[in-house]
Structure 1
Amino acid sequence: MEFRDFDTNPSTLLARLGSSYARSYSYPTFYLNAGFGNARTTALGISPEDGWQIAGTARQRWRSDAASSTRSTSVVGYAQFFKALDFGGPAHAVLAGRVAAGWEDDKTASALEAGGVSGGILSVIPGITIGEGRRTFFVRGFPAGAQVGTSAVGASAELRIPLAQPNRGWLLLPLFVQKMNVTLFTDGASAWCPAGTTNTTVCGGKGTASAWMQSAGAELQFDTALQYDVPYRFRLGVAAPVLNTVFSSGRRVAAYFSVGASF
């Protein structure tokens, strides 16, 4: 269940926005999720290996006071594979790939977004977090939400290579580094509104052309443990937009810091 309320500062401005902003709204939502995977993860491995994963989510969402006119449906799914490569070293290298697709009908009030960095979220102290969270149509090197629409597709490929396994702490601090890895990657995605759409919330009542964004880059990754037993993966990366760079906000190269795996 989702609830929406509106407020302004100063509060007297709210009355100028219209009566529709002076009330609360509730949105019941129904999800159906399914997935399957057979990739394996080893104790010393840097990634899932020798398998694949597939998952999908269907969602229905509506506004409780106008269910028939606001009921919307969306479907999002992805498939990914992992292949171990024996180049020597402390663990297997892994070739990983991923494809994703999403669709929403014309009644949707939420957009599919393409762009940004995918990973986890780490709360450092209350109010301060690291990471942007998990994204379905990520393109490193482009800002989050560089494209929005009711249809989206994406694909990524990574070569994950182990560098070292220090397996040691740092001074007397409760910080330990277990593994160091490097990843070479390319990402691509596009989000758009199909021609003939009647959606006004996301698309403004008109279609937009599909423009494939592509980037390439590299990451240095550290598998660590904080407070002795809480594992985290920290990622330092650089990515360069290489296709449809008009959506990159003028950045020729973007550096970023994230936590968790990209996928």
Structure 2
Amino acid sequence: MVAIQSHSQPASDAPIGVFDSGIGGLSVLKYIRASLPCEQLLYFADSGYAPYGGRSESEIVARSLAIAEFLMQYRMKALVVACNTATAAAIKALRERYSALPVVGVEPGLKPAAALSKSGTVGVLATERTLASAKFNLLREQISAATNVRFLPQPCKGLADQVEKGELHSAATAALLQRYVAPLLEQGADTLVLGCTHYPFVLPLLEEIVGRATSRSVAIVDTGEPVARQLARRLAERGLLRTEGNGTVQGFTTGSETALSSAFAKLLNLHPPVAKVAASD
């Protein structure tokens, strides 16, 4: 593969790396492209190892470091961990190894959800690994103490898999969402947090289910836009924003090239080149 950046290029022209366990991080990539249209983006889908939610923390750290090392071949100027589970497990290790690199992670939007909630009860849809992480639980305790909001964590086993398979509107996906969301609404949640970057892709189905289940207004919080804003801030602070030229996207995957290409086309209406990466890379 040919690197996007040569050694003679200025730092601002270097690409930004974005990775997820699969295609979920495309929901974050969408916001990054919208807010930073001149940037060159490298998207890495670790689909050969998906889902991360059921893996051990040490496995997730190892995969995250391996992906970062691969993307560093392209002399990236920033890294976005577009995966809640990887952020919770590995962002500390990534920042320690690449201390000179801006590393931006995602986390469930508990703070904006607390501000939106009128009932004081917020449901958090996420993977088991995210909800079990020390990072999530510390954030939950801090915001609960400051706001008196009650957070209801709901592990959503299998939901990210449905998104990976492209089953965004299927009966099976609807049944999973119904099973996970109904108890939260019954306990008075008037705000739901999408705590996994895969979940925004089933938002239309989620809204249908919520609409049928309750007549009250329910807010749904996604974290892609705040991540893009934070990335822009970090780049601007370092004088690394690319303000001219057309933005580009390059895809990499440890899974199926066809599957990632299809996801780009179906979810973002993009048709970038996609390369297969061996697991050992």
TM interval, shorter chain, is under 0.3
Bigger RCO (CA 8 Å, 6+ sep): 2
Larger strand proportion of the pair = 1
Larger helix proportion of the pair = 2
User: TM-score, normalization: structure 1?
Assistant: 0.21
